[in-house]
Structure 1
Amino acid sequence: MNNPAVTNLVLSLGAMQVARRLPLEDPDFITYLRIGYVASQLISLAIYWFITLKIRRRNDLTVLKYVNPPSAMNPDAKPELVTTTVKDYDLVETGKAMRGLFMGIAMMAFLHGYLKYTQPLFIQGIMTLKGVLESNPAKLHLWGKKAEGDLARPFKTAGGFLEGITGKAQGPQTDAASIKAAEKAGAGGKSE
């Protein structure tokens, strides 16, 4: 059971079953649930902050070149050549993950604060920590795994709906031919 999608499904289904048995009408319990949710978010932010410190301390200035494919929403756009360093790439990816964490907090504030749902506090408190600990930056900088396979930079993106319809992979291209073609075409070139 090494597939994150399967473990997410199993964990969320299990957490929902547990949440059904919790006394969600008890105001004292809801207070503890809120404290637990806030604590899990703070722990998640602390983990990302620690990963950011490790990335900066490691200071890997190895050059990384890849070609971002054009957006599926804008078929007229050209592929974009990106030249960056491993350090900068990892910092950007960790920043994206942190923004995702803040979006989740905003969504939970709406669900719990405005719509008064309490069950998602329990489930998201667990799922957020799991997501942080299984993120690519955490695998590389917290767990010390090698940057190869699925962890090779640039990270592969999960297949989306449009990719399934068109059959085209939307992830960044790292092969020498794509990079050379983008350099010759003057494909914008973005340096980070």
Structure 2
Amino acid sequence: MNAQIMNMALVMGSMQITNRLDLEDTKTKQLILGAYVTAQTIVLGISYIIQRRIQAKKDTTVLKYMEQPKPMSGEEPKLTATTNMAYDLEQNAQAQKQALIGLVVMVFLHFQFGVIRPLVVQSILPVKNALQSKFAQVHLFGKPADGDLKRPWKADNPFAALTGETEQPSEAAEKAAIKKAEKAESKAESKKDL
């Protein structure tokens, strides 16, 4: 099943569950808040385990890729050279940061405005997403980094199926772009030396 469809089904299902709950009851609110805090703890725990496994592997294989600029920045893609370990640690750190930002926002909304319904959804989706992330698949479940799990990991575009876009450039196009960027870099360095 497509991940976006599954996420939508989970959201709709959890909203149906919350419609049946008495959200004015203090015990219900405490249970939902407890489930949310537990889910966030699980997500951060998964992230910590992945970080430890990445560090234990010490994969220093060189990874070169074209880093895409932020949308609408007007910048060109730039060549990035790193190691698998550094790349994986960076991706995991970004996931930790997103989890912490989400936690802070939801706690603020809950305690400032009494928002309770989104806590039910946020008790399910982050755990599912953490377990289905590409770095979790590689480092937690031991799947080989081939095919969809090949580095660099691209973020899934939920609108790609609707717009007909291809999600990833072909491997040959990526290699050609890397070679072109390396040549441009070497020319710039040789001009700098003169």
Shorter-chain TM-score category?
A: 0.7 to 0.9
2:130 alignment counterpart: 132
On the 8 A contact 2:43/2:130 being kept in 1, the answer is yes
Q: Could you tell me how far apart the structure 1 residues matched to 2:19 and 2:112 are?
A: 21
Q: Is the 8 A contact 1:156 1:171 kept in 2?
A: no
- After the TM superposition, which residues 27-176 of structure 1 pair with which residues of structure 2 at under 5 Å, given as runs? 27-75=26-74, 77-159=75-157, 175-176=174-175
SS of match in other structure, 1:84: strand
Taking only the aligned residue pairs, the percentage that are identical comes to 38
Judged with a 3 Å threshold, the aligned counterparts in structure 2 of structure 1 residues 147 and 44 are, in CA distance, closer, same or farther, namely: same
Q: Cα offset for 1:26?
A: 0.4
Rounded to whole Å, the distance in 1 between the matches of 2:184 and 2:70 is 17
What CA distance in whole angstroms lies between the structure 2 residues aligned with 1:186 and 1:69? 17
Using CA pairs below 8 Å that are at least 6 residues apart, which structure has the higher relative contact order?
A: 1
Q: Rate the CA distance shift 1:171–1:68 in 2: closer, same or farther, 3 A.
A: farther
Does the residue aligned with 1:125 lie in a helix, a strand or coil? Answer: coil
Structure 2 gaps of 5+ residues are 189-194
| Number of residue pairs aligned between Structure 1 and Structure 2 | 185
Q: Which amino acid aligns with 1:15?
A: S
Q: Give 1:168 deviation, angstroms.
A: 8.6
Amino acid at match of 2:96: M
Question: Hey, which bits of structure 1, 4+ residues long, moved more than 3 A?
Answer: 69-72, 167-174
Q: Write 1 or 2 for the structure with the bigger share of helix.
A: 2
TM-score normalised to structure 2 length: 0.85
TM-score of the aligned structures, taking structure 1 as reference length: 0.86
Q: Cα offset for 1:106?
A: 1.9
Could you tell me which runs of 5 or more consecutive residues in structure 1 were left unpaired when the two chains were aligned. none
Q: Is the 8 A contact 1:159 1:170 kept in 2?
A: no
1:59-88 per-position Cα deviation (integer Å, ceiling 9, x unaligned): 11110001123444232x232110001111
Tell me the CA shift for residue 39 of structure 1.
Answer: 1.0
Q: What are the superposed Cα offsets for residues 140-178 of structure 1, whole Å, 9 maximum, x if unpaired?
A: 1111112111111001223377xx98x696879773221
Mapped partners of 2:120, 2:158: distance in 1: 28
Q: What one-letter code is carried by the residue in structure 2 that aligns with 1:35? A: G
Larger radius of gyration: 2
